[in-house]
């Protein structure tokens, strides 16, 4: 623990001065409960730690990156500069800005990538994201001249993508961010928070301003009760409808069609910049599925 703390303070946070900054950290009653508040305190922050009393059973219970509501409330109450939500094993990080708004993994990827590219730190301006990342992230990064390599869900796939392409940053919407060779290809929530704090420090801008570059596109999810679960290729009219919607949305949208693993349901998810349009298309697609295999 001591070596890890020293590394974070002396190497990962070199030159980062947090004196006077109010920071609230939610440790999810997990592995970061001792070290996260100490790291931030060593850097001069005024730290409030919540959910930092693990008893072996309360890990992630109504707290941490999967339940950030209590952190958001505490940041607002204290008018803190930043809230940090870790998870039980400390590899995820979601952030809360000074207004109490949540910044997820896509938001973190967007603001860090834009900063690194603006200061000319990367010879290859691309990042790695998974299929779960919102298409709004792709739009935000495209506007900043940053490309996205898309991989399947899972931090293992993100790490493989970073190694294969020789890139510096990748991650998931869930807050699992990996800083390739900068941090030994390890997902580390405290390190992620320090990297964002560094961007705030170097730009002298609050998190709400930095995160405003990213606008997630709306998503519509429709569940369709089904009698069977054939592959889409066995339903030509459905496959054709999916193709038509994907063509219409272009690179700013997507269609995900999958069956529930536990219930007799088909799930239709469409994402795109225009909410009314994707709602209409989702219900049209759902009706077509229902006509073919509806329960």
* Residue 123 in tokens: 């010879």
Q: Provide the 3-class DSSP secondary structure of residue 7.
A: helix
Tokens 């339903």 sit on residue? 235
CA 215 to CA 240: how far, in whole Å?
30
Q: Is 179 exposed, middle or buried (0-12, 13-18, 19+ CB in 10 A)?
A: buried
pTM over 0.75: yes
Give 122-172 as a DSSP string: -SS-EEEEETTS-HHHHHHHHHTT-EEEEE-SSHHHHHHHHHHHT-S-EE-
pLDDT tens for each residue of 147-161: 999 999 899 999 999
Q: How confident is the model at residue 32 (pLDDT cuts 50, 70, 90)?
A: very high
- CA 137 → CA 67, 89, 220, distances in Å? 23, 26, 17
For the cut 90, the answer to whether the pLDDT of residue 198 exceeds it is yes
pLDDT of residue 177: 98
């Amino acid at each position: 623990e001591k070596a890890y703390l020293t590394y974070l303070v002396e190497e990962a946070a070199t030159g980062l001065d947090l004196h006077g900054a109010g920071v609230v950290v939610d440790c999810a009653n997990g592995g970061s409960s001792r070290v996260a508040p100490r790291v931030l305190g060593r850097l001069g922050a005024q730290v409030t730690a919540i959910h930092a009393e693990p008893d072996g059973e309360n890990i992630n219970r109504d707290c941490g990156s999967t339940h950030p509501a209590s952190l958001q409330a505490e940041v607002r109450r204290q008018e803190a500069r930043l809230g940090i939500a870790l998870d039980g094993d400390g590899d995820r990080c979601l952030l809360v800005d000074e207004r109490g708004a949540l910044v997820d993994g896509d938001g973190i990827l967007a603001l860090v990538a834009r900063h690194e590219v603006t200061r000319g730190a990367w010879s290859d301006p691309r990042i790695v994201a998974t299929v779960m990342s919102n298409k709004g992230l792709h739009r935000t990064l495209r506007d900043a001249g940053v490309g996205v390599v898309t991989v399947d869900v899972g931090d293992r796939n993100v790490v493989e993508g970073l190694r294969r392409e020789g890139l510096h940053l990748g991650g998931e919407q869930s807050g699992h961010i990996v800083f390739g060779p900068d941090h030994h290809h390890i997902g580390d929530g405290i390190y992620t928070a320090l990297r964002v704090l560094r961007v705030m420090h170097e730009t002298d801008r609050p998190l709400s301003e930095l995160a405003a570059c990213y606008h997630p596109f709306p998503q519509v999810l429709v569940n369709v009760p089904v009698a069977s679960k054939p592959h889409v290729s066995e339903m030509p009219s459905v496959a054709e409808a999916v193709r038509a919607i994907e063509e219409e949305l272009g690179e700013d949208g997507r269609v995900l069609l999958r069956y529930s693993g536990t219930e007799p349901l088909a799930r239709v998810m469409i994402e795109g910049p225009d909410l009314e349009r994707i709602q209409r298309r989702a219900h049209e697609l759902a009706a077509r599925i229902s006509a073919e295999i509806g329960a």
